[in-house]
A and B are shown apart, each in its own frame.
Chain A
């Protein structure tokens, strides 16, 4: 009997339902304030420089970047998109994968993939890009050089097994750099 009671005492009880606490009334989240006319909505996950910021020097970004301030120097966003907002004033040379201009740029732009000059944007400088879009109403003065990527050569078929069917030695890999280290690796 003692044992039984003890077992009952220490037996794991099923989790009892939590005491019912009246849930607070949740108000629906307030809608985000609509962007004012002339201000563009900043997408998430983008580094941003606001319109009251002035930077002189070099900017290097490894994520999408939105510039709405005054920048003088160089801007590099090699793998991502650079957006120059409507208040952005850049006196800079720019290198990016994709460039979207809504403000004013004075300087050369290199956009490896695509360049987008929106209505009311102003760009004075030379452009080197793969593709360009110019909206009517944009002001552009400069040179446009469309760089077309050469078609990639088809990869040579790889042999299924290391053994060469003809018995000839397989193509040797590129010779390693000469030197004692290269020798040791062999």
Chain B
């Protein structure tokens, strides 16, 4: 039954919306200007992990969108929506984005406002690429916070850019178009705080139970992390 609903939800991407690939120097304008859809094995795996369950609490850090609300609540789950990137912009956007994040007082205010939930609140979290825009001290604090607010056995989906030569990467609104299909809308460009290879990702989530990687053709690493 669950799988059938997946199939219904998985609509093929429109023909004209060919997936664009951000290139090494970010010169591919399609990825930076268009709304485009791409297949996501990580997303597919994320929902496969939750298969058969209803009434779960899912955290979505991409901000509220009709697509994500419909897709997740159709499975009978509760959705908690928070636009982490917008909150980051609001707290650290004036001036040097990453230098501001190293300001302990600002970082503390940010953490008081964001990702602030009771312990073991969520069964799943869609982090998208938000962790890339956190400077190291704040990143570590955010991951510790995530570990606290996720239930044991909960799953997280995170995305990391694999192209270490890119000066900036496109920041997207992530919209779920179907199980395993994402519709990405460009919201800006930003240099990530740091690039992560597999080893760095494993180190970041070392206190979690497992980390599973999905390499994509568009220079992304999709990661499923189990609490």
Report which A residues bind B (CB closer than 8 A). Answer: 117, 132-136, 138-146, 148
8 additional A-B residue pairs with CB within 8 Å, beyond A138-B64, A143-B78, A144-B80? A133-B66, A134-B69, A135-B66, A136-B65, A139-B64, A139-B83, A139-B86, A144-B78
- For residue B188, give the distance in angstroms from its CB to the closest CB of chain A: 15
Confirm or deny: B26 has a beta carbon within 8 angstroms of a beta carbon on chain A: no
- For residue B148, give the distance in angstroms from its CB to the closest CB of chain A: 18
For B87, give the chain A residue with the smallest CB separation.
A141
Q: How far is the CA of A139 from the CA of B82 in the complex (A)?
A: 9
- For residue A113, give the distance in angstroms from its CB to the closest CB of chain B: 15
How many A-B residue pairs lie within 8 Å, measured between CB atoms?
41
Q: Assuming the A-B contacts A117-B64, A134-B64, are A142 and B73 also in contact, with contact meaning beta carbons closer than 8 angstroms in the complex? A: no
Are A145 and B69 in contact, with the CB atoms below 8 A? no
Are B80 and A143 in contact, with the CB atoms below 8 A? yes
Residues of B within 8 A of A (CB-CB), count: 14
Are B64 and A143 in contact, with the CB atoms below 8 A? no
- For residue A80, give the distance in angstroms from its CB to the closest CB of chain B: 24
Are A145 and B64 in contact, with the CB atoms below 8 A? no
- For residue A135, give the distance in angstroms from its CB to the closest CB of chain B: 8
| Closest 7 A/B residue pairs (Cβ) | A140-B64, A146-B73, A144-B79, A143-B80, A134-B64, A134-B66, A145-B78
Residues of A within 8 Å of B69, CB to CB, are: 132, 134, 144
Residues of A within 8 Å of B83, CB to CB, are: 139-141
Are B78 and A134 in contact, with the CB atoms below 8 A? no
Are A140 and B81 in contact, with the CB atoms below 8 A? yes
11 contacts between A and B (CB under 8 A): A132-B69, A132-B73, A138-B64, A139-B64, A140-B63, A140-B64, A140-B81, A141-B64, A143-B81, A144-B64, A144-B73
Residues of A within 8 Å of B63, CB to CB, are: 139-140
Residues of A within 8 Å of B73, CB to CB, are: 132, 144, 146
- For residue A82, give the distance in angstroms from its CB to the closest CB of chain B: 20
Interface flags for B11-42 (1: CB within 8 Å of A; 0: not) read 00000000000000000000000000000000
